[in-house]
Amino acid sequence: MENSKEDLKKRLTDEQYEVTQNKATEKPFDNVYWDHKDKGTYRCVVCNEPLFSSGDKYDSGTGWPSFTKPVRSDSVDKREDNSIIQERTEVVCKKCGAHLGHVFDDGPSTLPSGKPATGQRYCLNSASLCFES
């Protein structure tokens, strides 16, 4: 899969490109996965790497797909983001560097299923993900 800027512009929608390459944030409650409940894997829309699982997804009330952890701790990288006054931690795909969203410490300690969770909230953009059931 080619990942040159030109190729990505052809292959991705404008929104997918802006989110993954320019760290844009999509609109809450108006994106494909915020309320998506099917069982499966969310892959990086750029490089197809499996990143998040439906088993770790929960409704955070934010209008963005939210997870308590990635499929593997080394699936994503975290970077300091000081682009707004509130300090945030950016989450990117470890394999290709695509911007995915941010991670916060206000996640649940258990999921509705009773599964123990991490207390973290990975708040992602649907536009950076591709779901596979």
Per the annotation, the verdict on 123 as an active-site residue is yes
Q: Which of 44, 93, 96, 123 is catalytic?
A: 123
Tokens (6 digits) for 57 = 């997804």
Binding site for Fe ion (CB under 5 A): 44, 46-47, 49, 93, 95-96, 98
Calpha distance 72→59 (Å, rounded) = 21
Residue 3: what are its φ and ψ, rounded to 5°? -125, 25
For the bound state, the minimum distance from the C-beta of residue 93 to Fe ion, rounded and expressed in Å, comes to 3
Would you say 93 or 123 has its CB closer to Fe ion? Answer: 93
Instruction: State the nearest-atom distance from the C-beta of 48 to Fe ion, in Å.
Output: 7
Burial class (CB in 10 A: 0-12, 13-18, 19+), 130: middle
Q: What type of residue is 113?
A: S
Q: How far is the CB of 70 from Fe ion (least distance, A)?
A: 12
Residues assigned a catalytic role: 123
